[in-house]
Amino acid sequence: MFKLRQIAALAIVAGCVTASAASAADAWPANVVGTWSGLSNQSPIVLTVSTQTAGGKCQSISGTIYDVNGGFTGDMAGYYCPSSGAVEFLRYPTGSSVAFQVYSASLSQSHPPKHDGGIMMAGTFGQYSQAYGPLGQYSFSLFH
């Protein structure tokens, strides 16, 4: 009788762990390709993720970032991890291989409440070149 209770308890725990892992895997979008709009250090930007590789725990992404107030577009390259919602990317001036900003963010769940207006990407970025603004760490948030 005692062993039966232990086995039943273990089966319940294993089922809960399996169910939570399955639901966690479905919590974030499979990809981030598309247009994201929002604010970066209180300035409007548009992030366009044009490519995302397939397979692997984390996948390469690339695209552009448009500074709405400044009127210029730069390139971006980084990665997205669908299993955790983690996103990181570098921002480059167009045609350059030297990054001037590094973005680190998390995505909201793939099924937000109806009033949220979509999936959110939010985090911080570090400014590493005074030629593009004051050095430091700043916040950003984008919606898709």
- Give the pLDDT score at 8: 44
Enumerate the domain spans of the chain: 34-143
Looking up tokens 């979008």 gives: 29
* DSSP conformation class of 27: S
Write down the CATH number for the domain with range 34-143: 2.40.128.30
Integer Cα distance of 13 and 135 in angstroms: 49
Which pTM value belongs to this model?
0.78
Q: Using one digit for the tens of pLDDT, what is the confidence trace for 40-63?
A: 999 999 999 999 999 899 999 999
Contact 120, 139 (CB under 8 A): no
Q: Using one digit for the tens of pLDDT, what is the confidence trace for 118-136?
A: 789 999 999 999 998 899 9
Nearest to 77 by CA among 39, 68, 96: 96
